[in-house]
Amino acid sequence: MFRRRQPATADAPSQEATGSDAASPDGQDGSAGQANRHATTAGKGKPTPKRSEAERRRRPYSAPSDRKEANRQYRDRDRQERTRRLQGMQRGEQWALPPRDRGPVKALARDYVDSRRRVSEFYMYGLVFMLFLLFVPNTLLRGIVPLLVMAAILIMLAEGIFIGYRIRAVARERLPGESVRGIGVYAAMRAIQIRRLRVPKPRIKAGDSY
């Protein structure tokens, strides 16, 4: 009267498996679609570089054969770095300057001092001349040397005070908000240096506007 439901046959899974391997809507079979999916998801997101490009990116490195060679390479690198830093310092590049020379206020002070010739600039030449007078066998000339030294000190002191006063006023006017602490002494010390020996080197010629 009532028929008992037939159990699932053993070949049902095979039918499902067969159905899964059926052709896809775009006309490709399941294995080909699966391979395409793996090829799509396994990518790195960017094209693989050519061999020539990869070789160009490599930096050649030769390991030193012994300690003597390693020390020589270290000295060469250190000498090149010091030369590079010295050249940058002479050009006035900020990365190479010591802390006392950095900043726009110090650069303005250097330009202000270098914009004209000053008496203090010849102080070193005067010292050499006065040192020469000390060896002259003349009592009168040797007695003048202390007076010349005193006069040179007074001139440098007066000029240094004037330079400090002027550069502070110029810095406050052109660079408002920047600190001018110590700028007067900085400018006065640069003024007594021989022009060709100043570091950083002057960016402007004497007589140019700063």
Digit-coded pLDDT (tens) for 69-115? 788 888 888 899 999 988 988 888 889 999 999 999 999 999 999 99
Q: What is the pLDDT of residue 180?
A: 93
Q: What is the pLDDT of residue 135?
A: 85
pLDDT tens for each residue of the chain, 210 residues long: 444 454 444 444 444 434 444 344 444 444 444 444 444 444 455 566 566 555 555 555 566 667 887 888 888 888 999 999 889 888 888 899 999 999 999 999 999 999 999 988 998 888 888 888 888 888 888 888 889 889 989 999 999 999 999 999 999 999 999 999 999 999 999 999 999 999 999 999 988 888
Q: What is the pLDDT of residue 56?
A: 52
Digit-coded pLDDT (tens) for 60-71? 556 666 788 788
Neighbour count for residue 103 (Cβ, 10 Å): 16
Q: What is the pLDDT of residue 25?
A: 42
Q: What is the pLDDT of residue 154?
A: 93
Coil/strand/helix, residue 42: coil
As a dihedral over the C-alpha atoms of residue 23, residue 26, residue 30, residue 36, rounded to 10 degrees, the angle is 170
Angle of helix 139-174 relative to helix 123-133, nearest 10 degrees, comes to: 170
* Helix%, strand%, coil% for the chain, nearest 5: 65, 0, 35
Cα–Cα distance, 195 to 124 (Å, whole number)? 11
Q: Which amino acid is at 72?
A: R
Neighbour count for residue 1 (Cβ, 10 Å): 2
Burial 48-70 (b: 16+ CB within 10 A, else e): eeeeeeeeeeeeeeeeeeeeeee
Q: What is the pLDDT of residue 14?
A: 41
Q: What is the pLDDT of residue 1?
A: 44
